[in-house]
Chain A
């Protein structure tokens, strides 16, 4: 009996304390509310397909509007870069990875599906860069696809090359890859020598 009374008194005390001081989570909720009570407007490009997105987050609850589709979502932050989104009883585990630092797009995996997502915030005018096209029809840049070592340069500056001609051999992970010209033209610039170490994205040769 005595024990029971004690428990009750503790409970009352707890309630009183709670009334006087809101718990930490409540304060955090308020923080979210103040910062994000308004819908944020963004433009999302998913594998090149544009969507207008309006989104509002209030702790675990997310309301979003995409091209007229309305979603009410329970959102959980599992870990840095992993979100669990529950919509109408369907669970979507979304994992974010920086797909390409140069292109400022994200690779988002939803289950076993992967998408490239580029976000634009019109308010900040911070346009995500368009994925760089390597060839604009008149000039073609041959870009190192990954970090590696140049084994051989097979052409000279000014050389006339056919489409598909081997230009440079780059070795990475013990495999030699022959970098071919995407078009017929003249080699206008060679930026590397045999033996050079290159980074992914470096322009090796330019064909015009």
Chain B
């Protein structure tokens, strides 16, 4: 087993990997930027190394600094987490060149699957169906216009090096194309250091379903079933569940088989995720891309299958065979996860950086909170605003929703805006509880929500609401009265100090007498 692993990441995923290291009795090493000096992942690790200033381009994306830290502390392996350098083949290569183990696939597999255009080519050659579109990065706006006209609007612009919705734009008409093309390119350049974008047909009312796969260095491939990630805003997932509400064993088996085909084509090793678009009507599925890393939403698969994906990643990186075969994988119950972001759902999900003043994390039966923060933590403007992932498990989807609703109501974060109020509404939404999901869910939900708010306003506020509002006013008043009192006692401080010092002097003298007598 490894003795020491360096974690080239921050936040909740660094904490998650530290936990797996502890389970295996491996010493975890953190790296951090100047903005993260007192953050949780640094405090939970055995060793921590500063790798640069706050902007990630000067710290968490600095390959040589991370490798130097690993060498200096004698770590044998590096876990990249997700985001930052997790899908950077140059980083994986540099780790290997430093004669360290990279916990992930080979740089070749990352290169092939990392660029979405080559991934589409690989998938097509492996016999997996893809969405119509370009396989090469677009050279110019003119080329974008030509391709879009060829495959027909609406189309989707995507960053070749992308992920997480950055550098991604939905384009409904030709008029929108120039501005969307510019923004997608510059967003891609800022986020990934690569401005290349490509274009594909936008499938309407699609479900976003992905398959978790795992492979070892001995040629064994298994799939761990699907996760449904249709609930997205700005093309970024916010709620994920396992299994999909479709819960069709035959569909799972055929999608699993296709995912393994694609992974096998690049001699994949470790944990990977193959994303598909599934037509809600025909149940056809199209290969979208492959994520050559651990996914943010891996906990729901862990809750339903019982496997620890990070632990398995570490043992596979060590060269051990998979600890389970395909026939050992079974799916028990249902799990749903919410990504808690420091964002204001009432202002179009604008980031809400700041200090977390109060924090009460939920607990209780079948609830899992993967958090990277504690009360007092500063959510900075430099990184992704996700502060935690809240997941709940139940024997059925509806039992999981009951527990998730309870946990969301229990979760309190003060000082910054979070997406918690938004999730509290979603888990009470009929379309959600019925499992009618597709990637347009959020925009339809917002329309329903606006209508519901209007209805609410026209009705008289009920008694309970009136009392709650009164209590809010009373609490504010009590706080004001306290501040007033502090101010008035503040004015007397000087006189009090003089008086107190006499007491203190006498007391201290008495104490000394007692000690020395």
List of A residues within 8 angstroms of B190 by Cβ: 151, 171, 174, 176
CA distance A73 to B485 in the complex (A): 20
Q: Does B493 lie at the interface of the complex (its beta carbon under 8 Å from any beta carbon of A)?
A: no
Q: Are A97 and B472 in touch, CB under 8 angstroms?
A: no
Stretch of A9-17, A79-87, A131-139, A181-189 that contacts chain B: A79-87
Q: Does A141 lie at the interface of the complex (its beta carbon under 8 Å from any beta carbon of B)?
A: no
Query: Interface on chain A toward B: helix, strand, loop, or mixed SS?
Result: strand
CA distance A85 to B466 in the complex (A): 15
Chain A: which residue is nearest B341 at the CB level?
A173
Q: Are B481 and A117 in touch, CB under 8 angstroms?
A: no
Chain B: which residue is nearest A171 at the CB level?
B190
Q: Are B414 and A97 in touch, CB under 8 angstroms?
A: yes
Cβ contact of B478, chosen from A51, A83, A90, A172, cutoff 8 A: A83
Stretch of B205-213, B313-321, B348-356 that contacts chain A: B348-356
A174 in contact with B473 given A35-B488, A97-B357, A111-B468 (CB within 8 Å):
no
User: In the complex, which residues 477-505 of chain B have their Cβ closer than 8 Å to any Cβ of chain A?
Assistant: 477-482, 485, 488
A82 in contact with B358 given A119-B480, A173-B383, A176-B186 (CB within 8 Å):
yes
CA distance A172 to B466 in the complex (A): 38
A112 in contact with B474 given A55-B481, A81-B479, A119-B480 (CB within 8 Å):
no
Q: Are B488 and A175 in touch, CB under 8 angstroms?
A: no
Q: Does A190 lie at the interface of the complex (its beta carbon under 8 Å from any beta carbon of B)?
A: no
State the Cβ distance, A44 to closest chain B Cβ, in Å: 4
User: In the complex, which residues 48-86 of chain A have their Cβ closer than 8 Å to any Cβ of chain B?
Assistant: 49, 51, 53, 55, 57, 62, 64, 66, 69, 71, 73, 75, 77, 79, 81-83, 85
1/0 contact trace for B169-190 toward A, CB 8 Å?
A: 0000000000100010011001
Q: Are A44 and B476 in touch, CB under 8 angstroms?
A: yes
Q: Are A109 and B412 in touch, CB under 8 angstroms?
A: yes
State the Cβ distance, A174 to closest chain B Cβ, in Å: 5
Q: Are A49 and B469 in touch, CB under 8 angstroms?
A: yes
Q: Does A192 lie at the interface of the complex (its beta carbon under 8 Å from any beta carbon of B)?
A: no
Q: Does B128 lie at the interface of the complex (its beta carbon under 8 Å from any beta carbon of A)?
A: no
1/0 contact trace for A157-173 toward B, CB 8 Å?
A: 00000000010010111
List of B residues within 8 angstroms of A109 by Cβ: 412, 414
List of A residues within 8 angstroms of B414 by Cβ: 81, 95, 97, 109
Chain A: which residue is nearest B357 at the CB level?
A97
Cβ contact of B469, chosen from A40, A46, A169, A172, cutoff 8 A: A46
Q: Does B58 lie at the interface of the complex (its beta carbon under 8 Å from any beta carbon of A)?
A: no
Q: Does B89 lie at the interface of the complex (its beta carbon under 8 Å from any beta carbon of A)?
A: no
Q: Are B473 and A66 in touch, CB under 8 angstroms?
A: yes
Interface size on A, residues (CB 8 A): 60
Q: Are B385 and A57 in touch, CB under 8 angstroms?
A: no
Q: Are A51 and B470 in touch, CB under 8 angstroms?
A: yes
Cβ contact of B476, chosen from A69, A108, A177, cutoff 8 A: A108
Cβ contact of B409, chosen from A49, A108, A112, cutoff 8 A: A112
1/0 contact trace for B123-153 toward A, CB 8 Å?
A: 0000000000000000000000000000000
Q: Does B261 lie at the interface of the complex (its beta carbon under 8 Å from any beta carbon of A)?
A: no
Q: Are A119 and B477 in touch, CB under 8 angstroms?
A: yes
1/0 contact trace for A18-30 toward B, CB 8 Å?
A: 0000000000000
CA distance A83 to B477 in the complex (A): 11
Q: Does A33 lie at the interface of the complex (its beta carbon under 8 Å from any beta carbon of B)?
A: no
CA distance A112 to B472 in the complex (A): 12
Chain B: which residue is nearest A79 at the CB level?
B358
CA distance A48 to B374 in the complex (A): 33
Chain B: which residue is nearest A55 at the CB level?
B477
Q: Does A178 lie at the interface of the complex (its beta carbon under 8 Å from any beta carbon of B)?
A: yes
List of B residues within 8 angstroms of A173 by Cβ: 351, 353, 381-385
Q: Are A85 and B479 in touch, CB under 8 angstroms?
A: no
Q: Does B323 lie at the interface of the complex (its beta carbon under 8 Å from any beta carbon of A)?
A: no
Chain A: which residue is nearest B420 at the CB level?
A112
1/0 contact trace for B449-469 toward A, CB 8 Å?
A: 000000000000000011111
| A-binding residues in B (CB < 8 A) | 166, 179, 183, 186-187, 190-191, 234, 347, 350-353, 357-358, 381-385, 409, 412, 414-415, 420-421, 424, 465-482, 485, 488
Instruction: List 17 additional A-B contacts (Cβ < 8 Å) besides A55-B478, A81-B358, A175-B166.
Output: A44-B477, A49-B469, A53-B474, A53-B477, A66-B470, A71-B474, A81-B414, A83-B475, A92-B475, A108-B473, A108-B476, A111-B409, A115-B472, A117-B472, A146-B350, A174-B166, A175-B351
List 8 A-B residue pairs with CB atoms under 8 Å apart, sorted by A's residue number. Answer: A75-B478, A81-B358, A85-B471, A92-B475, A94-B474, A109-B412, A172-B381, A173-B381
